[in-house]
């Protein structure tokens, strides 16, 4: 269950924790008429970067232009956390990150392991994000809806929305 107090007081830390707790989110390039695609994120909060493994012949790699921007959307594993992040996306070779994030799930996609000629890494340098954290309590949700319907000017208080800017 997502912590609403953490969403208010430490939203950046919560964002990176949520990204690292999901198996996949949706990644898409800005400005193109193409759909977002599921990708497994590897978050590096120290550099505000999300790393992805892909293949050199993947559509997203082929369509990516220098200086291209992307969005990455995440739904928390308990469906009470949502985030949309944006930033510059680039194909980047980084042996240290390859070694750090490589695992048996990733290895299953590459016939020649870390030396696969089709292996590519994408780095999303996050510059901003919007997050939404909501209560998963049916009782709290029901209470807030009832309160809002009994008052003319009360909106249900069922969560937190924050905008984050990263340097």
The DSSP annotation for 39-100 comes to E--EEETTTTEEEEEEETTSHHHHH--TT-EEEEEEE-TTSSEEEEEEEEEEE---HHHHHH
Burial of 14 (0-12, 13-18, 19+ CB in 10 A): buried
Give the residue among 54, 36, 63 at the shortest CA–CA distance from 93: 54
Task: Please report where in the chains the tokens 């016939």 appear, as a residue.
Answer: 111
Q: Other CB atoms closer than 10 Å to residue 57's CB: what's the count?
A: 9
Residue-wise pLDDT tens digits, 38-81: 999 999 999 999 999 999 999 999 999 988 999 999 999 888 99
Residues 164/12, Cβ–Cβ less than 8 Å: yes
pLDDT at 145: 72
Task: Please report where in the chains the tokens 């007081």 appear, as a residue.
Answer: 9
Tell me: pLDDT of 82 over 80: yes
Q: Which of 97-101, 110-114, 131-135 has the lowest mean pLDDT?
A: 131-135
Q: Which residues contact 111 (CB under 8 A, 6 or more apart)?
A: none
Residues 85/43, Cβ–Cβ less than 8 Å: no
Residues 47/55, Cβ–Cβ less than 8 Å: no
């Amino acid at each position: 269950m997502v912590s609403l107090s953490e969403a208010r007081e430490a939203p950046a830390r919560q964002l990176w924790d949520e990204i690292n707790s999901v198996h996949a989110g949706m990644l898409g390039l800005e400005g193109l008429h193409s759909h977002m695609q599921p990708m497994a994120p590897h978050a590096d909060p120290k550099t505000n970067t999300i790393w992805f493994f892909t293949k050199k012949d993947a559509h997203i790699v082929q369509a990516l232009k220098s200086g291209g921007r992307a969005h990455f959307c995440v739904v928390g594993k308990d469906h009470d956390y949502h985030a949309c992040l944006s930033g510059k996306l680039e194909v980047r070779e980084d042996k240290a990150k390859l070694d750090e994030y490589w695992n048996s799930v990733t290895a299953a996609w590459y016939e020649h392991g870390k030396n696969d000629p089709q292996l590519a890494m994408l780095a999303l340098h996050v510059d901003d994000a919007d997050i939404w954290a909501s209560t998963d309590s049916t009782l709290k949700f029901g209470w807030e809806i009832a309160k809002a319907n009994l008052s003319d000017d009360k909106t249900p208080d069922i969560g937190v929305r924050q905008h984050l800017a990263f340097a």
